[in-house]
Structure 1
Amino acid sequence: MWPVLWTVVRTYAPYVTFPVAFVVGAVGYHLEWFIRGKDPQPVEEEKSILERREDRKLDELLGKDHTQVVSLKDKLEFAPKAVLNRNRPEKN
């Protein structure tokens, strides 16, 4: 008789364990809220790293005057030499 019973339990285990797990979970959930008492205070959401970065960039942009730019001639003086000319001796 025992082998037949174990075969039936093994065959229908998902149909038995899900309702048992559901009841245990529901009881545990309500027991936890009963022990805690009142509702917890809502937690203020923290900004994500991407949002903080975007805010910082916007603050930096607000402080700059975009009409004052460096001329291209000044920028070209500090440009690195071409990669292909690095190993060639410079002509004086």
Structure 2
Amino acid sequence: MSKKMWPIIMQFLRTNAPYITLPIAAVVGIIGYNLESLLSDRYTPYNKSVQDQRVDRLSSEEEILNDPTNVKKLKYQENVLGRNVSPSLEKN
């Protein structure tokens, strides 16, 4: 290709960018979707409902608040980053 041809090619690509990138993005998306479905684990374990968890927490807090001798020390209890871990990432 000669040097005079590059500006014509670039102008063509610039004006037709949506028509060129849309099929490429669709192919990449389809490949990524299928690859993720092959590699990931879609199993979601059972968790109690949010309302049930709240009732349990409030009832346990009431027991603690009723007994003034039961004082929990302020110390680091658990890893904050490990609180909402995906089931596929948990260590068994």
TM-score (ref. length: structure 2): 0.43
Query: Which has the greater radius of gyration?
Result: 1
Structure scoring higher RCO (CA < 8 A, sep ≥ 6) equals 2
Higher helix proportion:
1
